[in-house]
Amino acid sequence: MGTTDTRTVSPPELERLTLGFIPLLDAVLLVVAREQGCFAAQGLDVTLSRENAWSTLRDKVAAGVLDGAHMLAPMPLAMSLGLGRAPCDTLAPATLSHNGNTLVLANGLCEQSGATLDAAPTGSARALGVWLGQAGTRRPRLAMVYPYSCQHFLLRDWLALGGIDPDRDVDLVALPPPRMVAALGAGQIDGFCVGEPWGSLADHEGIGRIVASGAQLWPDHPEKVLGVTRSWAKRYPATLAALLRALQAANDWLASSDDHRRQARDWLALPPYLDRSVNHLAGLPTHEAAPVHQRLFGDNLLRPDLAALGRVVEPLQAQLRDTGRPLPPQALRECYDPVHLDAALHQ
């Protein structure tokens, strides 16, 4: 899918933008768009602001401190519905990644329970469930990144496969992704569900072991999106279109060459981005690499897939039903409508 000739489109209303990201591999399109000059080619001077917690990033977007951000797939809908904070109508006009999450347990817990990575996630969950059923077993402390996240929902689904009640049999806590590995090493948590590179880093450093992946539980699920407030999108439509074209150009560049993917990994390793947390990776992972099967580039990556996103927000819908607040039928489409991307790329 090619990008649009900038001479045929309206110039962006804003020249300078600040976009937030969390240090994860699936921020790569933003990094490539900046370092490769895709933003500049669209008339945008973009600063990428590294944020260390999803709640901080969320609040900065809502307050207008950030023009937009790399977001968890369920986050724009949760923001729009006022879950976790005051309501703020938020849109996700583009998808940035699929898959990419790992479930990791501390070495000691793996040895005690016999949990290990298998072709399916059921075996490790059942092993942990059997161990938890033994008399005198302590409650493990497991971390996820944010209450309204695929990581939280995946962790709960994985525990359920082992007959483990996530509200009774374990303690669930929220931690920023960059803190996961250190917390596991210090014994502050017994495991986590997080996006890459943090799971593979824990495994590489001998601190924990990957026992399942999000790709096994929800194959090819949308994981990260671009998020902007509805008011920002309405005020700066040409800027949003330029931003989306730049991301498509970054995707095309990344997909075109193994050398480009190695270069992208080197950019991610720069201190403003992920720094040393990617030193254990030889290159940018591909969709074919088990067990994570992370999809960071490729045909139609950016276009929101409403059917797939429905699976991602299903647990959120269940939470709303439990509180007597059904999800409005139009809310999902309005939040993840591909109309902005299609217009930007003239589809």
The domains located in the chain, with CATH, are 6-99+221-344 (3.40.190.10), 101-217 (3.40.190.10)
Q: Average model confidence (pLDDT) for the chain? A: 95
Q: How far apart are CA 246 and CA 6, in angstroms?
A: 10
Structural tokens at position 245: 């074209």
Q: What is the DSSP string of 170-212?
A: SEEEE--GGGHHHHHHTTS-SEEEEETTHHHHHHHTTSEEEEE
Q: What is the pLDDT of residue 135?
A: 76
| Nearest partner of 346 among 13, 1, 4, judged by Cα | 4
Q: In what order do the strands lie in the sheet with 141-144?
A: 171-174, 141-144, 191-195, 101-106, 208-213
Can you tell me the mean pLDDT for 277-296? Answer: 94
Structural tokens at position 298: 């490729």
Q: What is the pLDDT of residue 347?
A: 57
Check pLDDT > 60 for residue 7: no
Check pLDDT > 80 for residue 5: no
H or E stretch at 269: none
- Helices marked H in the chain — which ranges? 28-35, 38-41, 54-63, 75-81, 107-113, 122-132, 150-161, 180-185, 198-204, 214-217, 230-235, 237-255, 258-268, 306-322, 331-336, 339-344
Q: Is 136 helix (H, G, I), strand (E, B) or coil?
A: coil
Can you tell me the mean pLDDT for 207-235? Answer: 98
Cβ contact 28:298 at 8 Å: no
Can you tell me the mean pLDDT for 41-62? Answer: 97
Give pTM, 2 decimals: 0.95
| Nearest partner of 92 among 237, 238, 236, 228, judged by Cα | 228
Q: How far is CA 321 from CA 117, 166, 326, 327, in A?
A: 34, 19, 5, 8
Which of 4-13, 31-40, 128-137, 211-220 is predicted with the least confidence, judged by mean pLDDT?
4-13
The bridge status of strand 222-229 relative to strand 68-72 is: antiparallel
Q: How far apart are CA 125 and CA 121, in angstroms?
A: 7
